[in-house]
Amino acid sequence: MKDNREKVVVMTSIISIISNIVLAGFKAFVGLLANSIAIISDAVNNLSDALSSIITIVGTKLAGKAPDKKHPYGYGRIEYMTSMIVSAIVLYAGITAFVESVKKIIHPEVADYSTITLIILIAGIIVKFVLGIYVKKKGKDVNSDSLVASGSDAFNDAILSISVLASAIIYMIFSISLEAYVGVLLSIFIIKAGLELIKESVDNILGVRVESDLARSIKKDISKEKDVQGAYDLVLNDYGPDKYLGSIHIEVADTLSVADIDKISRKITKTILEKYGVMLHTIGVYSVNTKDKKVMEAKKEITKIVFAHKGILQMHGFYLDEEDKSISFDIIIDFKVKNREEVYREIYEEVQKKYKNYKLDINLDIDVSD
């Protein structure tokens, strides 16, 4: 699976490199002959795309290295680092094109378009549209953010090339030169794309929220297991595309033995790994009271107290130990609530007032997954 993914990324990137280099060469040649900054900017954009694909190949190769003692989780995150380099190249290309276009506005020069110029621009647009469809599809097939981004970028390039084509036609018909302004427009789009890629790369390096569909599906499958009454606190650490290591808490009855829980945990680990490729290295346990009806009533009362406050997303892991005179549970408060700690203190005080003879252990949990 990993080898196949690497082959797809490399082959798709090679096709993209060849296409972009050919397009860049033709556009640069025509742009110089026609003295068109817009066409030259378009050529620079194609060249930066080719360079981006080269870096994508290098990143994919390095990311595919086997784990070792120093890096036991593998080298998958290198792909995010190479994405950052690609982003910087795209940004630099955009800024350079912007500067040159502004110079042309300040010191205008007459362009010299011809029929060959139009034919090459039209051919470039068609190639970019086809390349965008192909690269984006392959990227989705193997879950490669780099390829998906390259495919989307190819679509944007085609649209921008249409604006260059339009400016050339307007000049040939009406003798109105818009190409320097189109060059500025092109460069702004390139700069915007570079900044968006940087943001995405930084997000991946910092760590982002688990995809909602993936988190919900994993929790749903775990909750289907016999004797599991609920699944909470799913944490997935991203070590590169399709490389997740994580942990989760499950609620089980307090009547189960250690052997029973061990059996459940092993089954869950195997099921989730086979179905999602996610390694759950830790499965924590919340014990659920099943022996005392008074405890269940207490849980209902405390649940009402907790959810009377705005921003409460979840309450779980409730356990009341009558012998030890203690109550413990976790609450999750929405990140949108500015004073989360204050809400926590209010809940703590209200529950303590209601159950004065009990020690409280209320954990303010983090909203890490849906």
Residue 303: pLDDT band by 50, 70, 90 thresholds?
Answer: very high
Residue 58: pLDDT band by 50, 70, 90 thresholds?
Answer: confident
**Smallest Cα–Cα separation from 61: which of 40, 79, 37, 47?**
79
**Smallest Cα–Cα separation from 227: which of 205, 201, 253, 204?**
253
> In angstroms, rounded to a whole number, what is the distance separating the alpha carbons of residues 270 and 226?
15
What average pLDDT does the segment 272-300 reach? Answer: 90
Q: What is the pLDDT of residue 71?
A: 87
Q: What is the pLDDT of residue 267?
A: 96
Residue 309 has pLDDT above 80, yes or no: yes
Q: What is the pLDDT of residue 251?
A: 95
Residue 3 has pLDDT above 70, yes or no: no
pLDDT by residue (tens digit) across 107-140?
887 777 788 888 888 988 899 899 989 988 888 8
Locate the domains of the chain by residue range.
2-206, 212-365
Residue 353 has pLDDT above 80, yes or no: yes
> In angstroms, rounded to a whole number, what is the distance separating the alpha carbons of residues 278 and 296?
35
Q: Which residue has the higher pLDDT, 49 or 251?
A: 251
In contact, 272 and 218? CB cutoff 8 Å? yes
* Residue 8 CB burial class (10 angstroms; 0-12, 13-18, ≥19): middle
Q: What is the pLDDT of residue 242?
A: 67
Q: What is the pLDDT of residue 291?
A: 74
Residue 332 has pLDDT above 70, yes or no: yes
Do 2-206 and 212-365 show the same overall fold? no
Q: What is the pLDDT of residue 363?
A: 95
Of 47-56, 274-283, 344-353, give the lowest mean pLDDT range.
47-56
In contact, 250 and 228? CB cutoff 8 Å? yes
> In angstroms, rounded to a whole number, what is the distance separating the alpha carbons of residues 353 and 345?
12
What average pLDDT does the segment 284-301 reach? Answer: 88
What average pLDDT does the segment 317-324 reach? Answer: 92
The whole-model pTM stands at: 0.68
Q: What is the pLDDT of residue 155?
A: 80
Residue 156 has pLDDT above 80, yes or no: no
Q: Which one of 3.40.50.300, 1.20.1510.10, 3.40.250.10, 3.30.1360.20 gives the CATH number of domain 2-206?
A: 1.20.1510.10
pLDDT by residue (tens digit) across 76-114?
888 788 778 878 877 887 888 788 888 888 888 777 778
In contact, 311 and 339? CB cutoff 8 Å? no
pLDDT by residue (tens digit) across 25-39?
988 888 888 888 778
Q: What is the pLDDT of residue 42?
A: 79
In contact, 248 and 222? CB cutoff 8 Å? yes
> In angstroms, rounded to a whole number, what is the distance separating the alpha carbons of residues 282 and 288?
19
CATH of domain 212-365: 3.30.70.1350
What's the chain's average pLDDT? 87
Q: What is the pLDDT of residue 1?
A: 54
